[in-house]
Amino acid sequence: MKLTTSTALAVVFLLGVLVGEGHLFTPVACAIIVAMLLSLKPQLRAFAGGLTQQEVRSTLVLGLLGFVIWPILPNRFIDPWQLLQLREDWITVVVIACLGFLNFVLLRVYGSKGVYVTAMLGGLVNSTATAAELASTLSGSELVGLVVPAILLTSVSMFLRNLLILAIFARGAIRTAALPLIAMALIAAYWIYRDRHKAADVERNVALDLGSPVSLRKVSSFAVLFLGLQIVATLGQRFMGNAGFQIVSVLGGLFSSASTTVAAASMAMHGKVSSAQAGIAVLLASISSALVNLPITLRKAKSVMPELIFSSLLQVAVGIVVAVIQVWI
């Protein structure tokens, strides 16, 4: 008898005992979770089989930092300027790292289904790195015609990820950011739909190796960048008003739209900026992050640059126009 079956029987027996003792909610919820995990056994086995020792160790370290270190961090500002509150800032980092890990699991399990699926899931993990990988891989083959829709799709994926971050930390900002980002996604949809048949013909031919987003090095880099952007954005807003906050957001998007989005959402959550200003900051960070793909692609796929420049600038222009109209209305 396999270990999985034996363990499942033991768990079901324990849940049955709990039901017999009069407990209902906990055993029923656990039974649903067990059934879901058993149904996903092939996918989980495929994912776990591809994990490296470093990725497993890094995930355990992340759990240690989230459940052991976080509770002992001071729940107050640690500086006289009220810039850093370690416990709240660290739980934000852990939440984003967990979100990145979930996206990484999806990429590992389903990322070999085709160019578009790979671009979409890779963009959720790291849109800039995905764009670079796809431009390099596709431009060196007969698939160069898919570079433009694939890179646009990584940007669309990044837009959705940033909206999800806002939904977690600053829901009020979604009203400002959602319509312009959706409009930009619809512009990208034309190129994606146009070449859908070409993408379907090359299923399972493209794979990305982005590395685990929960490695200690990546989590530490994200934490440092997030805290740095939050400090600079807070100081910019204090001394230069909303203009200073938005300038920092544009510059931050060139390095990491996720970090910039989290910083803006965190500031809105703590009342340092309004929800509308946070939404505008996320929009600007997303635009600058999408435009970063242009110089990256220039080095790897020069033949598609005219079309990529046109589609990217059209995307940005539509997003800005929708945002301006939204403000006027």
The tens digit of pLDDT for each residue in 155-179 reads 999 999 999 999 999 999 999 999 9
The two tokens of residue 36 are 């879901």
Are the C-beta atoms of 318 and 187 separated by less than 8 Å? yes
Are the C-beta atoms of 166 and 265 separated by less than 8 Å? yes
Cβ-contact 2, 32 below 8 angstroms: no
The neighbour count for residue 12, using CB atoms within 10 Å, is: 15
What is the distance of C-alpha 320 from the center of its chain? 22
Per-residue pLDDT of the chain (329 residues; tens, 9 = 90+): 467 777 888 888 888 888 888 888 888 888 888 888 888 777 777 666 666 666 676 677 777 777 777 778 887 877 787 777 788 788 888 888 878 777 777 776 676 567 788 888 888 888 888 888 888 777 766 667 788 888 999 999 999 999 999 999 999 999 999 999 999 999 988 888 887 766 655 554 556 666 666 666 777 788 888 888 888 988 888 888 889 999 999 999 988 899 999 999 999 998 889 999 999 999 999 999 999 988 888 877 777 889 989 999 999 999 999 999 988 87
3-state SS string over 75-144? CCECCCCCCCEHHHHHHHHHHHHHHHHHHHHHHHHHCCCCHHHHHHHHHHHHHHHHHHHHHHHHHCCCCH
* Largest interatomic CA distance in the chain: 70
Non-local (6+) Cβ contacts of 229 within 8 A are 248, 252, 259, 260, 263
What's the CA gap between 105 and 156, in Å, rounded?
19
Question: How many other C-beta atoms can be found within 10 angstroms of the C-beta atom of residue 233?
Answer: 26
**Spatial distance between the Cα atoms of 216 and 58, rounded to a whole number of angstroms:** 6
Kindly state the tokens that stand for 69.
């270190």
3-state secondary structure of 204: coil
Is the distance from CB of 11 to CB of 33 less than 8 angstroms? no
| Torsion angles phi and psi, residue 85, rounded to 5 | -125, 95
Compute the C-alpha angle 232/161/40, nearest 5°: 135
Q: What is the pLDDT of residue 249?
A: 93
Give the C-alpha separation, 29 to 303, whole Å. 54
Give the separation between CA 114 and CA 260, rounded to whole angstroms: 30
pLDDT for 101: 76
Q: What is the pLDDT of residue 278?
A: 94
Position 201 scores a pLDDT of 56
Query: Rounded to an integer, what is the distance from CA 154 to the centroid of its chain?
Result: 11
Q: What is the pLDDT of residue 2?
A: 63
User: For residue 312, which of 289, 279, 329 has the smallest C-alpha distance?
Assistant: 289
Residue 114 zone, left/alpha/beta (φ > 0; ψ -120 to 50; rest): left
Q: What pLDDT score does 204 carry?
A: 47
